[in-house]
A and B are shown apart, each in its own frame.
Chain A
Amino acid sequence: MDDGPGDPSGVHPTDRLMRELLLTRRKTTPRDVGQIVRRIATAPFMGEVRVPPRDRGLSYLGRTVGARENSRFYHLAKRVAEGQWAEGTTEEAYLQDPKDAVRSSDARVVLYRYRGGDLAAALAPNGMPQWRRGNGPLAYIFVVYSVDRARIVSGYQVSGIGEVQVSGNPLWLK
């Protein structure tokens, strides 16, 4: 379903909705949540980002992670090294797994704010095929979206709903 044209300010209506919800903390409708899920599920990954020194030098699929790196590749290399995704997982598959998870009817959505940036995240059961799981898979997938950049910031696996601690005055929508 199309979320409609953007407003004259250039802000996508769903990103504007997320900001409004963070501000007013009003009760949401299923339509609101569906709109947000679709927005996250269709977003591209961030571009080039800084890599912490401890992750520089990670090697994956014949490529080494540098001081600045394409975000999708960096996070994939990290997730494989952590045992979350299997060796051989492609960047495309790594992007698709969180997006598939977000679309699950069991997905929960949270809005929060860190360092002046508005973020949305979806938490959903890990339905990845066994062959794409590493040797330390976890039960849920958590995907983080930047409202300001309209990009996915990260995607990873976590053990359970009770342990997903989000500070930044979180607003859980469902």
Chain B
Amino acid sequence: MAEVKKASPGTIDRLLDLAWASWEELPSVASEIDDWTFDDQITYVAEWPLEEDRLAVLEGYEKSALMTESQLHRHRLLKSLVSENRPILEEILQP
């Protein structure tokens, strides 16, 4: 379970921004990653455990009632984006 502690100012918004950017770009990455060099491909995929961790941290903030209404709304939109794009990620992370 992620360690949930009081977020410093701006932390939750920053995590939401970072997560949104990563999950939003998946369709465009999927369309071009086969053309990247091997080094570029593994550099990209090596970051994904961090992206998954970020989702868990955000979930912890929500469950601990540490999000504002606006952050809760953004978090709901993020979760929807994650559901939509997870099959694309699984394709990108193929062994």
Q: Interface of A with B (CB < 8 Å)? A: 46-47, 49-50, 52-54, 71, 82-83, 112-117, 119, 121, 135-136, 138-139, 142, 144, 146, 148-149, 153-154, 156, 158-160, 162-169
Complex CA gap A82/B95 in Å reads: 28
Complex CA gap A158/B50 in Å reads: 6
**Residues of chain A contacted by B52 (CB below 8 angstroms):** 163-165
Contact A158 to B53, CB < 8 A, known contacts A115-B42, A168-B95: yes
**Quick check: is B46 within 8 A (CB to CB) of the other chain?**
yes
B contacts with A, residue count (CB < 8 A): 37
**Quick check: is B65 within 8 A (CB to CB) of the other chain?**
no
Rounded to whole Å, the gap between the CB of A135 and the closest CB of chain B is 5
Complex CA gap A71/B37 in Å reads: 14
Rounded to whole Å, the gap between the CB of B72 and the closest CB of chain A is 20
Q: Interface of B with A (CB < 8 Å)? A: 1-3, 8, 11, 14-15, 18, 21-22, 25, 29, 33, 36-47, 49-50, 52-53, 56-57, 60, 90, 92-95
Q: Say yes or no: A142 contacts B50, CB within 8 Å.
A: yes
Q: Say yes or no: B39 contacts A165, CB within 8 Å.
A: no
**Can you list 21 A-B pairs with a CB-CB distance of less than 8 A?**
A49-B39, A49-B40, A52-B44, A54-B22, A54-B25, A82-B18, A116-B38, A117-B42, A136-B15, A138-B3, A142-B49, A148-B42, A149-B39, A149-B42, A154-B46, A159-B53, A162-B1, A163-B52, A164-B52, A165-B49, A168-B95
Contact A50 to B56, CB < 8 A, known contacts A114-B95, A136-B8: no
Complex CA gap A63/B93 in Å reads: 31
Rounded to whole Å, the gap between the CB of B93 and the closest CB of chain A is 5
Determine which of A135, A159, A163 lies in contact with B11 in the assembled complex, contact meaning CB atoms within 8 Å.
A135
Q: Say yes or no: A166 contacts B49, CB within 8 Å.
A: yes
Complex CA gap A124/B15 in Å reads: 22
**Residues of chain B contacted by A71 (CB below 8 angstroms):** 43
Complex CA gap A168/B92 in Å reads: 11
Q: Say yes or no: A114 contacts B25, CB within 8 Å.
A: no
Complex CA gap A146/B45 in Å reads: 11
Rounded to whole Å, the gap between the CB of A62 and the closest CB of chain B is 23
Complex CA gap A52/B44 in Å reads: 8
Rounded to whole Å, the gap between the CB of A48 and the closest CB of chain B is 8
Complex CA gap A66/B19 in Å reads: 21
Contact A119 to B46, CB < 8 A, known contacts A139-B3, A159-B53: yes
Q: Say yes or no: A159 contacts B57, CB within 8 Å.
A: yes
